């Protein structure tokens, strides 16, 4: 198991971490298995989506903010309830297949760290498992 650091720069952003995960797979030497990725935070998440057109990230964040605005009469005293809601919708973990030592992703897919309450230094936990 490896704990990586992801530095975020804005309150909300999606950072392509595909190469970070691919590097962990490569270093593990595992040819067939699963890369399990976990975000140990309540206002950040992980997802897989298109990484060819940067407008996809923009559109996702735009729609999330439209449906879950920052200020909407929430009761949570910290003022970041929208961040908790968004991270719960996306989820805190992903499992990516590994075959021939490579992540199994679609042509246009990338793995994203989703920041909803930054900027911060965040943790990303990666565990690579061999599967026969």
Over the chain, what is the mean pLDDT? 97
| Res 132 pLDDT > 80 | no
SS3 state of residue 52: coil
In angstroms, rounded to a whole number, what is the distance separating the alpha carbons of residues 6 and 37? 13
Confidence of residue 25 (pLDDT cuts 50, 70, 90): very high
Please tell me the predicted confidence (pLDDT) of residue 57.
96
Element (DSSP H or E) covering residue 96: strand 93-99
Percent of the chain with pLDDT over 70: 100
Q: What integer is the mean pLDDT of 32-51? A: 98
Is pLDDT above 90 for 115?
Answer: yes
Inter-residue contact 120 to 8 (CB < 8 Å): yes
For the chain, the domains span 2-130
Residue 68 has φ and ψ, to the nearest 5°, of -130, 80
Give me the mean pLDDT over the 26-38 stretch. 98
* pLDDT of 124 above 80: yes
Which neighbouring-strand residues pair with 109? 50
Q: How far apart are CA 75 and CA 110, in angstroms?
A: 35
Quickly state the pLDDT bin for 48 (edges 50, 70, 90).
very high
Q: How far apart are CA 124 and CA 6, in angstroms?
A: 7
Q: Which of 39, 17, 45, 29 is nearest to 128 (CA)?
A: 29
| Mean pLDDT, residues 98-118 taken together | 98
Q: Scan for tokens 């943790």, then name that residue.
A: 123
The pLDDT, as a whole number, for residue 107 is: 96
2-130 topology per CATH: Jelly Rolls (2.60.120)
Q: What is the pLDDT of residue 58?
A: 97
């Amino acid at each position: 198991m490896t704990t990586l650091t992801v530095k975020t720069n804005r309150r909300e952003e999606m950072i392509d971490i595909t190469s970070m995960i691919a590097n962990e797979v490569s270093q593990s030497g595992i040819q067939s298995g699963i890369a399990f990725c976990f975000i140990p935070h309540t206002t950040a998440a992980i997802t897989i989506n298109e990484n060819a057109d940067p407008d996809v990230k923009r559109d996702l964040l735009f729609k999330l903010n439209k449906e879950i605005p920052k200020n909407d009469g929430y009761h949570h005293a910290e003022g970041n309830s929208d961040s908790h809601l968004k991270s719960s919708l996306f989820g805190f973990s992903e499992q990516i297949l590994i075959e021939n030592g490579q992540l199994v992703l679609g042509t246009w897919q990338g793995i994203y760290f989703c920041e909803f309450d930054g900027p911060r230094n965040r943790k990303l936990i990666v565990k690579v498992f061999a599967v026969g």
